[in-house]
Amino acid sequence: MAKLFYCKGAIRIIRKNGVPLTTKNFCFEGKETDIIIGWGILKNIGEKIAEHNPYRIVVVTDANIRKTYGEFVKRQIESQGIECMLVDFHPGEAQKAREVKDRILNEMLGFATADSGVVAVGGGIVLDVAGYAACEYFREKLKFFAVPTTLMAAHDAAIGAKNAVNSRFAKHSFGVYYPPKFVFIDAETIMSLNQREIRNGLMESIKHAMAQDIGFLEYLLSLPSDMKLSKEELLEVINRTIDLKLECMKGDEYEMFNPVLHLGHTLGHQIEFHSNFLLTHGEALSLGIRAEAVLANKLGMLSSEDVARVFSIFKRIGAPSKIPNASDEFLDKVIEGLKYDNKRTRRGTPFFLLKEFGIPPITVYEDSIPKEYILQCLKSIS
C-alpha cells in the first residue's frame, strides 16, 4: 500500500557566498525527493550527484540544451570521478514518444549498471522521457535526478513522480510514476530564457494562484509585462509556485484528481495537441482556463464578472487571446479528443471548473454537461 504523501516546510540556508538556497521536499510511496532551488548552483551538480554514490551516470537532454547545459553537467559529474555518457534527442513535443524513450534505453544498454543513475537536463519533455526510461531500465533500479532548465519544467514536470509520453491520439497516454532522488533548480539557467518561455512558465503560476492564493495572483500581475524579471522576482515566482503545487499534492500524490492541478487542462491539453504543438503548454493552458471559465458560467457556477476577470488576467500577462486557425474541423477534433483524456472514467472526462477565485475548482463530469456548451465555450476563444 502506498504511504501517505507529506511535504515538509521550506528551509532557507545561506550559502558561503551569501546567496540564499531554498530546500523543500516531498515523499511519494515512502520515497523522499529533495528540491534544491538557488542561483548559480549548477556548478555544484556533480557534488550533489556524488552524494548518491552512482557507479555511472547517463545524462539525457535534447540537442539544444546539450550545447548550453548538458555538456557542462556531464563535466561536473566527471569531475567527481564518475564515468558519464550523454544521450540527446531532437527538441520538440513530437519527441515525447515511446520510440524516443526506447532509443534512449537501447543506448544505455552495456553502459548503465543497476547501481547507476540518469540525470535529465532540460525542459518537461526531457524530464518526462528520461524519467520514463530510468524507471523501465532494469526494472526501477536506476537512480533518477531532475535538472529542469525551463520555468515550466521547474513548476510542473519536475515536481512530483509522473513521467509520461504522448500517443498519436493524445498527450500523456502512457507513463509511469518514478520520482527523482532530487530536483535541482538553478534559476540562473531559467533567467536566460526568452520572453515566450518565461510567460509559458508563468501560466502555471497563474493557474495555482487563481485557485489558491489571490495575493500571489496580484503579485504575478504586477510583474513586468516584458517578462524581464529580476533575480529576486524569478526566485519568488519559482518558490511560491512550487509551494502551492506541493500543497495540492497532499493527499493526492498520484496527481489524479486534485482540481487545482488540472484547472484548464481538460480543454487545454486538447488545444495544445491538436494545434500540433504550435502553442506552448502554458499558452494552451491559458486558453483552456478561459474556455472552461465560460463553461462554468453556462453551468451557473461562475459569475459573468469573474469570467471577464479571467480573460483580463491573461490579457494582462500577454497570453494569446484566440486559438490560431481554429476551424470547425479543429473544434470537432478537440471535442472528439476528450475520449482519450487520461483522467476519463465511466462518467466521461472530468472538467475542473472555477466557482470562485481563491478556492479549489469543482469537478464536473462530461456526462452532466450538454455537448453544445463545450462547443460554445471553445468558440469563445476561437
Which has the closest alpha carbon to 144: 172, 116, 185, 173?
Answer: 116
Q: Where are the beta strands (DSSP E) in the chain?
A: 7-14, 20-28, 31-38, 56-62, 83-89, 117-122, 143-148, 162-165, 174-177, 182-186, 350-353, 362-365
- Characterize the bridge pairing of strands 7-14 and 162-165: unpaired
| Distance in angstroms (rounded) separating the CA atoms of residues 212 and 110 | 47
Give me the amino acid identity at 239: N
3-state secondary structure of 77: helix
Q: Contact at 8 Å (CB) between 128 and 96?
A: yes
String of DSSP letters for 233-265: HHHHHHHHHHHHHHHHHTT-TT-SS-TTTTTTH
| Distance in angstroms (rounded) separating the CA atoms of residues 203 and 272 | 14
Distances (CA, A) of 362 to 2, 257, 262: 26, 11, 11
Using the 8-state DSSP alphabet, how is residue 44 labeled?
G
The alpha carbon of 350 is separated from its chain's Cα centroid by a whole number of angstroms, namely: 20
- 78: number of Cβ within 10 Å: 13
3-state secondary structure of 62: strand
Helix axes 371-379, 328-337, angle to 10 degrees: 130
Residue-level pLDDT, tens digit, the chain, 382 residues = 233 333 444 455 545 455 568 999 999 999 899 999 999 999 999 999 999 999 999 999 999 999 999 999 999 999 999 999 999 999 999 999 999 999 999 999 999 999 999 999 999 999 999 999 999 999 999 999 999 999 999 999 999 999 999 999 999 999 999 999 999 999 999 999 999 999 999 999 999 999 999 999 999 999 999 999 999 999 999 999 999 999 999 989 999 889 999 999 999 999 999 999 999 999 999 999 999 999 999 999 999 999 999 999 999 999 999 999 899 999 999 999 999 999 999 999 999 999 999 999 999 999 999 999 999 999 999 9
Distances (CA, A) of 180 to 6, 130, 150, 334: 16, 10, 17, 33
3-state secondary structure of 89: strand
What the block records as the C-alpha cell of 15 is: 550559502
3-state secondary structure of 121: strand
Domains, the chain, ranges and CATH?
Answer: 7-191 (3.40.50.1970), 195-379 (1.20.1090.10)
Which has the closest alpha carbon to 377: 315, 307, 280?
Answer: 307
Cα dihedral angle (360, 366, 371, 372), rounded to 10 degrees?
-10
| Distance in angstroms (rounded) separating the CA atoms of residues 163 and 131 | 6
- The answer for residues whose C-beta is within 8 angstroms of residue 43's C-beta and 6 or more apart is 76
3-state secondary structure of 271: helix
